[in-house]
Structure 1
Amino acid sequence: MPPYQPWAQGYSPYNRPAPVNGLAIASLVLGVLCFLPGVGLLLGLVALRQIRRRGERGTGLAVGGMILSGIGLVLWVLLFTMGSPSGLWQRVKDGARGSVSTSLTKGECFDAPGGVLSGRPRDFDKVSCSGEHDGEVFASFRLDDGRYPGQHSVTNTADKRCWSLQGDYAMDSWAVPEGVDVYYLTPTEESWTAGDREVTCVFGNTDASANLTGSLRNDESVLDADQVAYLKAAHVLNSALDTAPDTAHTEGDLAKREAWAGRVSVALERQARMLRAHDWPDDAGKPVAVLTARLDKARVEWAKAARAKDMDAFYQHCDAGANLIDPLQTVTARQALGLATTPPSGDAGPAGSGGDGDTGLQV
């Protein structure tokens, strides 16, 4: 029986597998870490050449590293183009929000496609507030985290908050032109999943074919100390007047009307105190003093309305009190202070029978 032939040189009886290419591993690591993506892409290319020439393993690793490094390279280019990681993420959120720009900040003005602020505008262009524009941002706030509460809930919250915030930006409602209304930009369900919680409050014209001209901002950054003092005092009364019960649902409800009259009476006392506490310039001192005296008389009538025994007595004192705080009676003081002197529509006379949900009184 012939002897066994010896193993040929270079042949292993255990059939060891070919080694894995080291550059392929390095390419994959750099691709996963998104670190030095250009280097990772280059190492992947070199690794493929070595694998074919040496018969090594790692083709999948090299290809995977090249793909991840390529993606990383694109992201790095976008990062440097758009300025910062936060800027890039903001654009991701804007894309989810239907391309609505959430980078608009308080005091900025913009144009919307077709001048339409309702619905979900696709894009806004920032423009100077000195010229014509479609909208002006007057406030913004964040909604609470958690699950998306639904469009109806988001809209209701935006409506209430934006209406309450407009007075901080435009302290003098008389200086706001006719036709200007409050709009708001809200997160969509899609942008909510990307972390978008911001509501942007905007002034715009109710007529889509009309524009705003000039900034509507009149707050402490624009007004002088005397104007601010007057408007803060007026805001106390206006806030109380705005709490009037709705006659459509409370007709005959004397208790609610009396409670409202009581709030107005307290506000009148506070307003008069604030006006007396301020040191007015000489030309404004007398008209403000005359106005304050009328507020004192009005407070007495509103206090009587708050204690009325029946609806007839309530209306009697409410009408008398409303005539004493007729917005036209404030024009002289406003003129002396350099404030707007034309009452907004609906503010040109007294509240009449009182008790309406919209009293028409804005002093």
Structure 2
Amino acid sequence: MSIPPPPGPHQPQGPYPPPQSGLPQYPQYPQAPYGQQPPYPGPYQQWGQGYGPYAPQPPVNGLAIASLVLGVLCCLPGVGLVLGLAGLGQIRKRGERGRAMAVVGSVFSVLGLAVWVVALATGGAAEFWEGVKEGAQDSSSLSLATGDCFDTPDGTLTGDLVSDVTVVDCEKAHDGEVFATYKLKGSDYPGDDSVGDSADRRCYALEDGYAMDGWAVPGDVDVYYFTPSADSWEYGDREVACVFGNTTEGRTLSGSLRNDESMLDADQVAYLDAAHVLNTALAGAPEAEYVEDDLPGYRQWAQQVTTALGRQTAMLRAHGWGPDAKKPVDDLVADLDRAKAEWAKAAKATDADTYYSHYDKGSALLDPKRTVTARKALGLATTPPSYDDGGGGAGSGGSGSGVEV
């Protein structure tokens, strides 16, 4: 006789008793009508309605998480403590998880508050903030502001890459002085040539806003600029710094070159504003070296100078000058009126010889030496800058025109 094994985990007990003899017995199924099959039980056990295989977990309380983060970082310990206590209250009411997080966050927040109290009482917070600011400056050493004077590691402004500068007192010897900054636009790096062209154009245009009296800028000083590199552009660097520097390698600057509206009186500003109108027009001379090569271009330029002279004299006449400056300025205006007439004739010249005749007379009336008397009365620089053929230094006002009034 064979005895069947007891039911195991994979042998569910069925509704039929075990066989009583050595011969296997089979369950008898009821006969169904022809063509019909009796139903069979499904192969899988069905879960009861309203139940699942796993019990759902309650959510983690959000205030507990926030309390833990703020408590560990110690950045806002007071907030972390408040959030931790509020989180504990919500956990009790809602049955949420995160009690340990709220407790730990509250404890760390209390410790953080204690640290802040001690730091404020001993002055440590101020020292910490100064350290943060110094660290930020060290990580962005070329973040220069208008008016900053600085030194470079090798004392030059013409290297391929300047990676570090040290801001110094302008009254001490220094390598450069920032007279303007501006930001480039765009998401993609425009290329070295494009960045350089932009800096060259914009920096010379911004020079007059910082050093309004170009005569006060030494002749051996020129314009330089710091621009973003392709690598620094990827980290968000877009700033261009326009800088004054000495044209002689190894030489430094001494004292600030700043002379803008914040440092000049109303008469000085009025005179220089009018002078800049003419200087801008004079800087637009044609590229052709000789009038014969581009007579139409030179005639157009002469007309621009004529228009600028009209604006300049109108500005000078409209200002109420002090008693010491009124006569010198009136005499200068008379010279400018005569110069305007000659430039107007040059603008209508039909040949190069006629153009030269009126151009020479008009230029002579704009000789910088004719402005010295008015400048002296106004307290401005009285030494005319030198204009070399290879000029372009800041001492010429950045215009390259050879004439500045």
- Normalising by structure 1, what TM-score? 0.73
Q: Among the aligned pairs, what percent are the same residue?
A: 53
TM-fit CA distance, 1:289: 0.6
> Per-residue displacement from partner, 1:19-44 (whole Å, max 9, x unpaired)?
xxxxxxx9xx78xx9644469xxxxx
Partner of 1:115: helix, strand, or coil? coil
Q: Which residue of 1 aligns with 2:80?
A: none
Does the CA-based 8 Å contact 1:284-1:333 persist in structure 2?
Answer: yes
Partner of 1:297: helix, strand, or coil? helix
TM-fit CA distance, 1:167: 0.5
TM-fit CA distance, 1:279: 1.0
State whether structure 2 residue 236 is matched by structure 1 residue 169. no
TM-fit CA distance, 1:100: 4.1
Does the CA-based 8 Å contact 1:180-1:205 persist in structure 2?
Answer: yes
Does the CA-based 8 Å contact 1:114-1:208 persist in structure 2?
Answer: no
State whether structure 2 residue 115 is matched by structure 1 residue 115. no
Alignment equivalent of 2:190, drawn from 136, 141, 149? 149
TM-fit CA distance, 1:3: 6.7
Does the CA-based 8 Å contact 1:100-1:120 persist in structure 2?
Answer: no
What is the correspondence of 1:197-346 to structure 2 with a 5 Å cutoff? Answer: 197-248=238-289, 251-346=292-387
1:297–1:105 distance in 2 versus 1, CA, 3 Å: same
1:88–1:217 distance in 2 versus 1, CA, 3 Å: closer
- The residue type equivalent to 1:289 in the other structure is D
- The residue type equivalent to 2:151 in the other structure is D
TM-fit CA distance, 1:187: 1.1
Q: Which residue of 1 aligns with 2:402?
A: 360
Partner of 2:402: helix, strand, or coil? coil
Gaps of 5+ in 2: 10-61, 75-126, 389-398
1:34–1:243 distance in 2 versus 1, CA, 3 Å: farther
Q: Which residue of 1 aligns with 2:173?
A: 132
More helix by share: 1
1:227–1:36 distance in 2 versus 1, CA, 3 Å: same
Give the distance between the partners of 1:142 and 1:294, measured in 2 at CA.
41
TM-fit CA distance, 1:359: 3.3
TM-fit CA distance, 1:160: 0.6
Give the distance between the partners of 1:114 and 1:263, measured in 2 at CA.
44
1:244–1:4 distance in 2 versus 1, CA, 3 Å: same
1:138–1:224 distance in 2 versus 1, CA, 3 Å: same
State whether structure 2 residue 253 is matched by structure 1 residue 190. no
> Per-residue displacement from partner, 1:101-139 (whole Å, max 9, x unpaired)?
21x211111111121112322211111112211111111
Does the CA-based 8 Å contact 2:279-2:401 persist in structure 1?
Answer: no
Does the CA-based 8 Å contact 1:301-1:321 persist in structure 2?
Answer: yes
Q: Which residue of 1 aligns with 2:39?
A: none
1:5–1:318 distance in 2 versus 1, CA, 3 Å: closer
- The residue type equivalent to 2:208 in the other structure is G
Give the distance between the partners of 1:318 and 1:265, measured in 2 at CA.
11
> Per-residue displacement from partner, 1:147-202 (whole Å, max 9, x unpaired)?
11111111111111111000000001100012111111111111111111111111
Does the CA-based 8 Å contact 1:108-1:126 persist in structure 2?
Answer: yes
TM-fit CA distance, 1:84: 10
1:359–1:198 distance in 2 versus 1, CA, 3 Å: closer
Partner of 2:293: helix, strand, or coil? coil
Partner of 2:224: helix, strand, or coil? strand
Which protein has the larger Cα radius of gyration, Structure 1 or Structure 2? Answer: 2
TM-fit CA distance, 1:304: 0.1
Does the CA-based 8 Å contact 1:100-1:122 persist in structure 2?
Answer: yes
TM-fit CA distance, 1:82: 6.1
Q: Which residue of 1 aligns with 2:29?
A: none
Partner of 1:141: helix, strand, or coil? strand
Give the distance between the partners of 1:140 and 1:244, measured in 2 at CA.
27
Does the CA-based 8 Å contact 1:100-1:121 persist in structure 2?
Answer: no
Does the CA-based 8 Å contact 2:292-2:352 persist in structure 1?
Answer: no
- The residue type equivalent to 1:269 in the other structure is G
- Normalising by structure 2, what TM-score? 0.66
Does the CA-based 8 Å contact 1:252-1:311 persist in structure 2?
Answer: no
- The residue type equivalent to 1:106 in the other structure is T
1:90–1:191 distance in 2 versus 1, CA, 3 Å: farther
Partner of 1:181: helix, strand, or coil? strand
State whether structure 2 residue 145 is matched by structure 1 residue 105. yes
> Per-residue displacement from partner, 1:301-352 (whole Å, max 9, x unpaired)?
00000000100000000000000110000000000100000011129xxxxx
- The residue type equivalent to 2:310 in the other structure is E
Give the distance between the partners of 1:193 and 1:290, measured in 2 at CA.
57
1:285–1:88 distance in 2 versus 1, CA, 3 Å: closer
